Structure 1
Amino acid sequence: MSGSEYLISELRRVRESMGLTQESWGERVHFSAKHVGSIERGERPALPNYLGMVDKVFGTTFMKFYREFVVGEQDPVWFREFVDYEARASMLRLFQPLVVPGLLQTEAYARALLASYDVVGPQQDAAIATRLGRQEILNREPEPCRLVAVLGRTFCTGRSAMPT
């Protein structure tokens, strides 16, 4: 079980042990029941703003667990389904108005982006290796994945938009 999966199960377990519904839990931490549910189903990551509020309201230590076991985890629960889909896809269409999508990032770009989120050292190297490894679908044999990406106002299309 990954750190993200354990965190999600513990959030649900603690909520249920207190006898709280997702709605009543959400009201106390100032998040919607929909938000709470999406985290508990692994559809949305449990991020520091949510975990910090849970810790403040309920006296838990989820932020400490998050910092020690989830930060830097390569495929968080909420992203795994997409990565699995991506690996099987014959064509992908992406829209990203703010940053270059992982499938199009160079190592230098990924390193700078991750550093801006304070991901450095071995965690950064592992994240970059994972990200660049995902790009292999664009060159796989016998049939590479076709990719159409809209980046801001720039339109890119083709088998691979990666610089050579």
Structure 2
Amino acid sequence: MPSFDIVSEVDKHQLTNAVDQVNRTVTNRFDFKGVNAEVDMNGFELTVRAEAEIQVTQMVDMLRSALIKCDIDPLAMEVGEVEQSGREVRVKVTLKNGLDKELAKKIVKMIKDEKMKVQASVQGDQVRVTGKKRDDLQQVIAMLRAKELDQPLQFNNFRD
């Protein structure tokens, strides 16, 4: 039976490239000359640090555009609150990797509400969809792409 998996993954290598690109841009920009500003990466948690709040917001925008250039959907970004500590301003940016239980259940419910001839089941941090016909699976993919979800989805392991 044909099947595929619905996942939400961030490519770690491309994320590293985007962070390096932002750090290079910051060192070369005129308005950041002599400013201690950088993006630190720890897994899928990023810390954007600078001396002023406006610089941090500019760096978050640079990070968003760098992620787009590296084929990472900016919906995966979750920007935290601006924190001031001494002469430094910080913002935590978390990238969502994997489907959480609530979103996976919501996706399964959306598929069942459409009354398509497929079965959807939650398996860890992904959703497996199986059906008898390939066309039914492609309808599920088209329906999910049309929906506005708060996290980017990828469809992989498509098997006939």
User: TM-score, with normalisation over the residues of structure 1?
Assistant: 0.30
Higher helix proportion: 1
Higher strand proportion: 2
User: TM-score, with normalisation over the residues of structure 2?
Assistant: 0.30
Larger relative contact order, structure 1 or 2 (CA cutoff 8 Å, min sep 6)? 2
